[in-house]
Structure 1
Amino acid sequence: MRLASTSTLPQLAIGIILTLAYTMGFVWRIDLKRDPILAQVWNFIAARNGHLSAKAAHRELILFSCLAFFLEFILIISFIIPLIVAMLTLFSPCVPPLLISLLCHPSQSNGWKLDRMYGPVTRMGFAILELVQFHVVGTGGDYYINFFMTTAVVRLWLDCKVLTESGDTFENQVILYRRIQIYEKALNSCIRDRIFLTLALLGPLFQILSGFTLVEMANSSNYSTLLACGLLYFTMLCLTLFCFSATGQVNQITVNWIAGRRAVCKTRVNRKTLKSLVSETVSLILMTPEELGFA
C-alpha cells in the first residue's frame, strides 16, 4: 500500500487529509436536502431598502467592490484547480494527491511508476473522476462559504453600522434593529444547518493540507505547486479571519448601541423596550455542542 510506505509525518498527514476530503466530496453528492432558509436570507438582502447617508453608501460601495474582486478570484481558482488535477492524472499519474497514484508501485530508480496494464483509458477515467470530484467540492464550498456567507455577514455588519450612525428617532431605530434581528435569526438558522460545519471541516482541512504541502515544496524546485498552495493557504486564512472578525464586530457594535441607548433614554417605556433587546450574535462565534449535533 502506498500509505504504508510513507516515511515522513507530513506525507502521512497529507494522505489522511486527502482521504477525508475525498470522502466528504462523495458524501456531499448525497446531500440533496432543500434549504428554503437560505433563499429567505437572499430575499432579505435583495429586498433591503432605505436611504443611506453619503458616508454609508461610499463605505458599502468600496466594501462590496473589494468583495466582488475577491469572490471572482476564488471562482477562477475553483475552475482552474480541477483542470490542473485532471491534467496531472493524465501526464503525472503517480503524484501522491491523486487517486490513481494508489495504483503506482516503487521503481528501481527510487521513484514511482504506473503499471503498463493501466493504459490511456484508465487514466482518462481517473482524470474525469478527479475533475468531477474537485469541481463538486470547489463549487459547493464557493457557494456556501464564499458567495453566501461572506455576502450575508457583510450585509449584517453594514446594517449594524447604519444603525449606529442613524439620526432617526428612538422608535425608528428600534424598528430597524428589529429588522436586523429577523435577518440575524434567518442567517443563524442557515449557518447552523450546514454552513458552519462546512467551514469548520473544510477550512482547517485545506489550510493544513496546503501548509504541509508548502513545507514539502519549499525544498524542491516545483515553484508552480508552491505558488498554488501558497495562494490557497493565504485565501483560506484571509477568509477565516474575515468571517470571524466580522461576526465579532457585529456583536460588539450591537452591545455598544444598546448600552448607548440606555444612557440617553429617559422615559420608562423606552427603557422597557431596551430591556427586551439582545445583542446580535452570529453562530460562527457562539455554537454549542448540542447545536452541532455532538451531544
Structure 2
Amino acid sequence: MATTDITKLTKVIFRYGEYYNCLPFRWGRNLGKIILIEARRLNILTFLVLFHFIVSIGRIISVRVHSPNIVGQLEAAIGALVYSTVLLIRFDIPVDHVQARLIDLTISSSYGPIKKTKLQLGMKFLFYAGGLSGAIISTLLAITTIFLPCQPILLSSLLCSDGVAFLWVECRTFIKEFNAGFARIVGYRKFQVFEKLLNSCIRSMIFLVTALIIPAFQILIFFAAIKLHHSGDPNSFEVFVFGWCYVVCLVFTVIVFTSTAQINNLSKTWILRCKWGNVKKLERMVYKSLKPLRLEFGNNFVEAVTPLVNQNGNENENRNGNRNGNRNGNRNGNRNGNRNENRNGNRNENENDNGNENGNGNEKHNQKSNPFSDWLS
C-alpha cells in the first residue's frame, strides 16, 4: 500500500483511539508521528482494561448460568469468546513502544512511486467495513439491551429470571419485601415451584457433573502440581499452569457451592423467623410445614456446610496422596537397600567358605603327595 494511504488510515485509527481512550498512543499532529498519551489518560486506559476483564468474566459466567437450549448457549459462548479475544489483544501492560516505532518506520519509509494493487483495495475495504460493522453492532447491542435484555448474548441476561443467580437475588428480595400474613406464604410457594423446575433441569446432569468432576479435577491438578514442583527437574511454567488451573477450579467450586448453600440458609432463616414471629397458631403450623429451598445433585443437596466439607475433603485427599507417595518411596528405597545389603553379604560369605575349602584341600593333597613329611618333621 502506498505510504500516503497508510498514513491516512493510521491517522483515522489513532483519532478514534484518542476519542474513545482505548489506545496507549495517539497521533502527534505537530511531530507527525505516533507518541505516547499522557499519564492521566494512561491510568484511565488501565482502569478500562480491568473493567473489560470483569465484563469478560461476566460473559463467561453467563454461558453457564443461562441458556436452556443449545442455541442460547452458543450465543452466550460467542459473546464470551469475542470479549475474551479482544481483552487478550488489548492487554498490553506495560505498554510496548516497539509497536509504535514500527508503524513510524513504515510511514516514514519511502520506496518511490508504487502502483496500487488489488491487495491495497482489499485492505481499504476491510478497514472501512470493520469501522462500519463496529458502529452497526454497537447500535444493535444498545437497542437489544433496552428492548430485549434477556437475550443470552447480552450481559444483562444475568439479571433475568432463570438460573441460580436469580434464585439467590430474588430470595433476598423476597425476605425484605413480603411482610404481611399469608401473602409471604404464597410468594414462598412460588419460589418452591421455581426450585422444583430448576432442580429438574440441573439435578441429573449439569449440577451432578459439576459437583463430582470439578472437585476431583481440583484434587488431581493440585497433586500433579505438588509432584511436579518436588520433582528432580521441575518446569516452572508447567508448575504455574497447574497452579493457575487449581486456583480457577477452587474459585469456581467455592462460588457454585457457596451460592447454592446461601439459598438453603436464607430460606431456613426466613422460615424460623416467620414461624416464631407470629402469634396465630394456624400461621405457625403453615410455616412449620414449609421446607427450605435446596438445590440437588443426584440424590444429595447442598446445605450450609457443604462448601466446607467439599474443600476439607479435597485437602485431606491431597494430604493423603502426598503422604502415601512419600511413604511408598521411602519403603521402596529401604526395601531395595536391604536387598542389596543381604545379597552382598551372602556373596562375601560364600567367597570366604570357598576360600577355606580350597585351602584345606591343598594341605591334604600336599600331605598325601609327600610320604616323608611326618618323618622329616
Is TM-score (shorter-chain normalized) higher than 0.5?
A: no
TM-score bracket, normalised by the shorter chain, equals 0.3 to 0.5
Q: TM-score, normalised by structure 2?
A: 0.35
Q: Of the two, which has the highest radius of gyration?
A: 2
The answer to which structure, 1 or 2, has the higher relative contact order (CA under 8 A, 6+ apart) is 1
